[in-house]
């Protein structure tokens, strides 16, 4: 548990979610701009009526008296009864007024299909800003604009691009691409008997955001897993808190995230900025909050289907039985790549398998077990043997045989019964021929797919197994950590006496900032004469370090303005003059604050820790081996503030720094825990103030007495 905290301290408050029942399951819908001649509003109404809407439809169009056998109203204000949802499909110049009228009418939600806003031109951007203000003033929630629509399998289908009647399912989808939501996610899933409970295209998110929809869906009883397709997030911290709350409460969140955060160009000043890759921020954010990132749409559907079909596994131990030895070997490699455990098949389980004559096995069984093609005739007996073994948490039956012949009928029936009776998840991988000779015939594997997922690709099958196991791990890990809202430090306000406009701080200013966040720094004296340098060196002890202090010269080593291993007062005087001379060749004398004298800390492990600006999350914290090892190892980990001690520990353990701290060849190892504390304080600084754009602590020397920063480069926010 993080810091061995009491469980009561770890309780969290669920994030607020909007009431979107009127959006997904409205009792009455007003379609403003309704016309059979319009692709968007016309097809939307056709789908709404064809796919089981049992509420009341109110067409609104001043140019018509009647459509779809219903009275057509001139204005939404003319509708005599209450309206739950207003669908807006009018030219963009009228959309703001329509939303205002709907709000004044007391409509709780508007679904704005109209395009041509910020995605189009400057006029559209101005209209979108006006729409946002109008919606807030009118007290109406808005989905869109530039939105393809929404769907709820047990509610209403409100989109022009849904080609078939949605079937009940357990997947909630939040997509920032409308076309992908209904023409790719929905269609591909339906072709494979994978179904959604809800789909929402978020459009331009002038009001309701992806985070709002995730928060709502995670609270619905018919949603087993929330899937998101994300291009960019306006409120990244809220999105992370919403997703974290969902995972904590038992709802997996899977994400296809395209693009990546781009570091500000100003980050090139420090090592920290140059070491953080474009996509590191999102990876860190997802890892810290339990979100599972998925590479593509088919893989998202494969994993999501597992979360809807199976109970959570008790662990990551998997038993694989394959009719093909080659497929068994492939699955073994894939399990290892995904950190899935394959315990040995032994003892009573192995004996029972050896007694099955159809297996024609000599010697013993490995895991994966090669049951050969003959084993398909004995699937119930094989399953009985392995399912009784408590060594396994999940099972994969890999069938490398045709999926359409008479034998396939028996295999499908056996697998359906095995899966239905098993206490643990049973995954079916069927890689054989899938198309029957008679195109009107439903093949056995397809009928089986109506009951449980049937995977055709080995990698997607093993990804699905991994996904269910990883979710349990993520949920349990979060349960022992503070939630993000509790991690956020109290804002300390602007740090006074710091220069503005993106300036680099002096050592005195940097030391004051570090001290405010309990970040220890090495004892340092600022001197302005050679004699003072000698006295300071004698006070800190020999050997000492002498280096220039000048915000205009942030990389003093490259200018020769640093002298190490100073062993006497005379050497300190000489070093003072030499670093002043070296710095004076690069910067004006007026830009030199003085000379810093420090004890030489060389009996420890060097680390790097720092803060870099990020366009999405504001700031990132990086950590890894420091000093000369920064370039030599090129190995750092990234964290998104705020983060817990457990997050910090995971980041350190992802680099070679952990081994250096715990297994030092020369002298006693300082251990990892004191540096974890140090890193958390750096995170508190990053999360607690907006005044610092960049911080580079390199090196941080970790000794038996604890870590200390011996150098600091700090740049304020421009």
Per-residue pLDDT of 371-409, as tens digits, reads 999 899 999 999 999 999 999 999 999 999 988 888 999
Note whether 507 and 712 are within 8 A (CB): yes
The three-point CA angle 245-250-252 to 5° equals 80
pLDDT of residue 294: 96
pLDDT reported for residue 264: 37
If you average pLDDT over every residue of the chain, what do you get? 91
With bands split at pLDDT 50, 70 and 90, how would you rate the model's confidence at 717?
confident
pLDDT grade, residue 437 (50/70/90)? confident
Per-residue pLDDT tens over the stretch 115-168 = 999 998 999 999 999 999 999 999 999 999 999 999 999 999 999 998 899 999
- Sign of the torsion formed by the C-alpha atoms of 130, 132, 137 and 139: positive
- At 90, the pLDDT band (50, 70, 90 cuts) reads very high
- Give the range with max mean pLDDT: 201-215, 274-288, 422-436: 201-215
C-alpha distances in angstroms, 323 versus 331, 378, 464, 687? 12, 11, 20, 54
Q: Using CB atoms within 10 A of its CB, is residue 621 exposed (0-12), middle (13-18) or buried (19+)?
A: buried
Tokens 């395209």 found at = 258
Token pair in block for residue 121: 């031109």
Mean pLDDT over residues 217-226, rounded? 97
Mean pLDDT, range 300-304, rounded to an integer:
97
Q: Hey, which bits of 550-684 come out as E strands?
A: 562-566, 594-599, 605-614, 618-625, 637-639
Percent of the chain surpassing pLDDT 70: 92
pLDDT in tens, 616-645: 899 999 999 987 666 656 688 999 999 999
Q: Please give the pLDDT value at position 270.
A: 41
Q: Are 293 and 286 in contact (CB under 8 A)?
A: yes
pLDDT tens figures, 169-203: 999 999 998 889 998 999 999 998 999 999 999 99
Residue 615 has pLDDT above 90, yes or no: no
Residue 588 has pLDDT above 90, yes or no: yes
What pLDDT sits at residue 555?
A: 86
Q: For 308-366, what is each residue's pLDDT tens digit?
A: 999 999 999 999 999 999 999 999 999 999 999 999 999 999 999 999 988 876 678 89
pLDDT in tens, 635-676: 889 999 999 999 999 999 999 999 999 986 666 788 899 999
CA 544/CA 353 separation, integer angstroms = 72
> What pLDDT does residue 263 have?
43
Please report the pLDDT score of residue 603 as a whole number. Answer: 85
Q: How far apart are CA 24 and CA 187, in angstroms?
A: 20
List domains and CATH numbers for the chain.
19-148 (3.40.50.720), 342-456 (no CATH), 523-599 (3.30.1490.20), 605-716 (3.30.470.20)
pLDDT score for 498: 67
What is the predicted pLDDT for the residue at 635? 82
Peptide bond into 699 cis (omega under 30): yes
Q: What is the pLDDT of residues 427-436, one digit of tens each?
A: 999 998 777 7
pLDDT in the model for residue 497 = 62
Of 584 and 502, the structure prediction assigns the larger pLDDT to: 584
Taking alpha carbons only, the member of 373, 389, 370, 493 closest to residue 432 is: 373
User: Quick check: pTM over 0.85?
Assistant: yes
Instruction: Dig out the tokens for 697 from the structure.
Output: 């602590």
């Amino acid at each position: 548990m993080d810091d061995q905290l009491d469980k009561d301290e770890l309780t969290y408050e669920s994030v607020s979610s909007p009431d979107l029942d009127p959006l997904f399951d409205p009792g009455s819908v007003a379609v403003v701009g309704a016309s059979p001649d319009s692709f968007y509003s016309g097809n939307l109404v056709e789908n709404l009526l064809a796919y089981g809407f049992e509420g009341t439809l109110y067409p609104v169009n001043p140019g018509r008296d009647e459509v779809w056998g219903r009275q057509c109203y001139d204005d939404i204000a003319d509708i005599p009864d209450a309206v739950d949802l207003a669908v807006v499909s009018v030219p963009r110049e009228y959309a703001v007024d329509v939303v205002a009228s709907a709000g004044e009418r007391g409509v709780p939600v508007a679904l704005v299909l109209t395009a041509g806003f910020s995605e189009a031109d400057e006029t559209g951007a101005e209209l979108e800003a006006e729409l946002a203000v109008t919606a807030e003033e009118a007290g109406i929630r808005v989905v869109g604009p530039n939105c393809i629509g929404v769907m709820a399998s047990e509610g209403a289908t409100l989109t022009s691009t849904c080609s078939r009647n949605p079937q009940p399912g357990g997947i909630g989808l939040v997509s920032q691409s409308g076309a992908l939501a209904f023409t790719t996610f929905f269609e591909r899933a339906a072709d494979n008997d994978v179904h959604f409970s809800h789909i929402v295209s978020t459009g331009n998110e002038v009001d309701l955001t992806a985070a709002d929809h995730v928060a709502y869906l995670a609270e619905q009883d018919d949603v087993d897993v929330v899937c998101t397709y994300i291009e960019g997030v306006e409120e990244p911290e809220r999105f992370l808190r919403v997703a974290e709350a969902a995972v904590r409460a038992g709802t997996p969140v899977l994400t296809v995230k395209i693009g990546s955060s781009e570091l500000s160009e100003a980050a090139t000043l420090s090592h920290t900025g140059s070491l953080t890759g474009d996509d590191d921020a999102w990876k860190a954010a997802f890892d810290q909050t339990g979100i599972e990132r998925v590479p593509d749409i088919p893989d998202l559907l494969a994993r999501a289907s597992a979360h809807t079909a199976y109970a959570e596994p008790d662990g990551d131990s998997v038993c694989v039985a394959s009719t093909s030895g080659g497929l068994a070997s492939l699955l073994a490699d894939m399990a290892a790549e995904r950190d899935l455990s394959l315990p040995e098949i032994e003892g009573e389980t192995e004996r029972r398998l050896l007694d099955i004559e159809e297996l024609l096995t000599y010697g013993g069984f490995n895991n994966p077990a090669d049951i050969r093609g003959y084993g398909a005739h004995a699937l119930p007996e094989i399953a009985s043997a392995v399912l009784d073994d408590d060594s396994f948490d999940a099972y994969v039956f890999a069938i490398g045989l045709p999926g359409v012949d008479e034998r396939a009928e028996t295999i499908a029936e056996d697998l359906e019964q095995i899966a239905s009776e098993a206490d643990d998840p049973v995954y079916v991988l069927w890689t054989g021929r899938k198309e029957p000779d008679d195109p009107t015939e439903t093949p056995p594997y397809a009928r089986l797919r109506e009951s449980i997922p049937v995977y055709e690709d080995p990698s997607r099958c093993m990804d699905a197994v991994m996904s269910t196991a990883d979710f349990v791990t993520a949920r349990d890990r979060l349960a022992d950590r503070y939630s993000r809202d509790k991690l956020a430090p109290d804002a300390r306000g602007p740090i006074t006496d710091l220069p503005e406009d993106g300036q680099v701080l002096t050592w005195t200013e940097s030391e004051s900032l570090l001290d405010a966040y309990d970040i220890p720094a090495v004892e340092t004296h600022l001197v302005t004469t050679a004699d003072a340098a000698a006295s300071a060196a004698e006070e800190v002890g020999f050997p000492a370090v002498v280096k220039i202090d000048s915000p205009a010269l942030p990389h003093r080593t490259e200018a020769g303005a640093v002298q190490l291993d100073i062993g006497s007062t005379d050497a300190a005087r000489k070093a003072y003059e030499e670093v002043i001379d070296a710095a004076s060749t690069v910067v004006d004398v007026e830009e030199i604050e003085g000379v810093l004298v420090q004890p030489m800390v060389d009996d420890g492990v060097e680390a790097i820790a720092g803060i870099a600006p990020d366009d999405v999350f504001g700031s990132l914290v990086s950590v890894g081996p420091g000093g000369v090892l920064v370039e030599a190892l090129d190995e750092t980990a990234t964290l998104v503030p705020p983060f817990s001690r457990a997050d910090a520990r995971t980041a350190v353990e992802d680099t070679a720094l952990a081994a250096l701290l715990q297994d030092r060849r020369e002298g006693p190892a300082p251990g990892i825990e004191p540096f974890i504390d140090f890193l958390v304080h750096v995170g508190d600084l990053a999360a607690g103030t907006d005044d610092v754009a960049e911080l580079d602590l390199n090196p941080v020397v970790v000794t038996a007495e604890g870590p200390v920063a011996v150098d600091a480069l700090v740049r304020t926010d421009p």
